[in-house]
A = this chain, B = another copy of it.
């Protein structure tokens, strides 16, 4: 389906890769509740991941979307991407990937999953023929930027990643833009800020502690802080991330122009400001549950990350995020804790 051509009210088939991941599950949940994407009905959802899905996804009967297909496979393995593309999804959310800490520790795995996974997906789209023209929304990251930085990173600041993860994301952005430019698909790359507060257990992302120091204290547990509290970084909530993904699908080629990879908005604050926000929202006792525990690898990775991002184009295109870290904490309490904090 070519965006801008008369798709009429034809219902959408949406594919999500990495659908068992945190953002993937939240996007899936939102689409299952809405039954629509930007006003257009969804009649089929294809969910892909390399790991098995948690049980709650597997109840298509209760959902407003008639058909939910599940694929569990390694997208970079020969033939697997072709299988998920065979039913020609109209909109593809490519969220699958190995996180930053893991890609730094396992060089080969990072390139295989993050770069070759994207290449396999793009090859499958090309192989489906010229009549197939999906919308592909790719989650990139602000890890594509590398220090030294200006005070605020503008939309035309160059990409000099200081992690393999960032290098892989930047390469995927280039691939996506080239496929978009050549008319093989409609692409949008969204550079997510650090998504905070992540629910659930810690993952291997170097950025994990930004969530941990809020999530654990709110749940009545102690949290470790591996960096100095002067570290400044940019954050948005999981709810904001899902909103970015939904909004990205609404953008036309005309709106996007030739630069389709966009830094997303977020809240820029220091760790000390995060902790102060936690104190304001949940009290002294909760904020006291954070213990310094310096970690050199994390400190080195995070030191190369951006602090403030202008995200001017994203704002002009209608992407919005929280305005304060207090708001991010309140979103977590509302969405994950049923409004309750462990005092």
Q: Which residues of A contact B (CB under 8 A)?
A: 107, 146-147, 150, 155-162, 164, 167, 170-171, 174-175, 177-178, 181-182, 258-259
The CA-CA distance from A192 to B120 in the complex, in Å, is: 31
Per a CB cutoff under 8 Å, which of B162, B164, B182 touches A164? B182
Per a CB cutoff under 8 Å, which of B146, B164, B174 touches A171? B174
- In the complex, the answer to whether B164 meets A258 with C-beta atoms within 8 Å is no
Dominant secondary structure of chain A at its interface with chain B: loop
CB distance from A175 to the nearest CB of B (A): 7
Given known pairs A171-B174, A171-B175, A177-B167, the reply for A160 and B258 (CB within 8 Å) is: yes
CB distance from A219 to the nearest CB of B (A): 37
Given known pairs A167-B175, A174-B167, A174-B171, the reply for A181 and B157 (CB within 8 Å) is: no
Nearest residue (CB) in B for A107 is B182
Residues of B within 8 A of A155 (CB): 158
Residues of B within 8 A of A160 (CB): 177, 258-259
CB distance from A281 to the nearest CB of B (A): 37
Residues of B within 8 A of A182 (CB): 107, 164
List of 4 A-B pairs having minimum Cβ-Cβ separation, nearest first: A167-B178, A158-B158, A167-B174, A171-B171
The CA-CA distance from A224 to B146 in the complex, in Å, is: 44
Residues of B within 8 A of A162 (CB): 181, 258
The CA-CA distance from A65 to B175 in the complex, in Å, is: 42
- In the complex, the answer to whether A161 meets B174 with C-beta atoms within 8 Å is yes
